[in-house]
Amino acid sequence: MSTTAKVMTIPECDIHKYDMNTPGIPAKYDAATTRGPWASMCEPCWVANRATPELGTGKGQEYVLITPEEARSTGPKRTDEILAALLSGDMAGAAASAPAGSLDELL
């Protein structure tokens, strides 16, 4: 159950961009809202609009900025290997294809 989402660029806060007409505010979370749909939200908007105060699978994740080098460690080839293993029910193969300790964060 991951509480973080690794991204190479931080998206804008959807609440500021679409509801408040003040685009350009960096988001900190991708989370379910009290209105139903998920949104990228800055800290104040997450506190005011979050469906739950907890983070995790099905609830929301905090954005973590990573470098291109870090992103390449789980690039397309490795991601395809992980996905193929998961689809075939081979959790050990998926774990072996993932960078050390990262399978939980990829799921």
- Report the alpha-carbon distance of residue 83 to residue 89 in Å, rounded: 10
Residues 24 and 2 in one domain: yes
Identify the domain containing residue 4 by its residue range.
1-65
Residues 57 and 72 in one domain: no
φ, ψ of residue 5 to 5 degrees: the values are -130, 120
pLDDT tens digits for 20-77?
Answer: 999 999 999 999 999 999 999 999 999 999 999 999 989 999 999 988 777 766 555 5
Tokens of 80: 């395809």
Residues 92 and 51 in one domain: no
Q: How many domains is the chain partitioned into structurally?
A: 2
Full-prediction pTM beyond 0.85? Answer: no
Residues 28 and 46 in one domain: yes
pLDDT at position 1 over 90? no
Residues 8 and 58 in one domain: yes
